[in-house]
Amino acid sequence: MSGETHQRHGFGPRPGPVSRYDLVLWLIPAAFVLALALSTLSAISTHTAIVGASLLGLFAIVDAVALHPPRAG
């Protein structure tokens, strides 16, 4: 999460809102799970599905690191 915490009554700190980078970290494994499911349920080969998931992960990382990098402060 973003590192911020909010106080809840009796339950300790609560994580802050989901950031863009949390979504990127969620997207990468989800793309591979979806690719494997599609290759199992359709005529798409596993190799093709994994290549597609890899490209999606690559674009997500490029977006998070180069196009919209984290800013200090």
Pick from 18-22, 46-50, 54-58: least confident: 18-22
Q: Is residue 63 packed enough to be buried (19+ CB in 10 Å), middle (13-18) or exposed (0-12)?
A: middle
Cα gap 1→61, rounded to integer Å: 17
Cα gap 65→62, rounded to integer Å: 5
Task: Name residue 4's amino acid.
Answer: E
At 61, the pLDDT band (50, 70, 90 cuts) reads very high
Mean pLDDT of 56-62: 97
Task: Name residue 39's amino acid.
Answer: S
Residue for token digits 């494997």? 36
Mean pLDDT of 38-67: 96
The pLDDT tens digits for 26-36 are: 999 999 999 99
Enumerate the domain spans of the chain. 18-67
Cα gap 5→68, rounded to integer Å: 23
pLDDT of residue 73: 63
Q: What is the pTM of this model?
A: 0.74
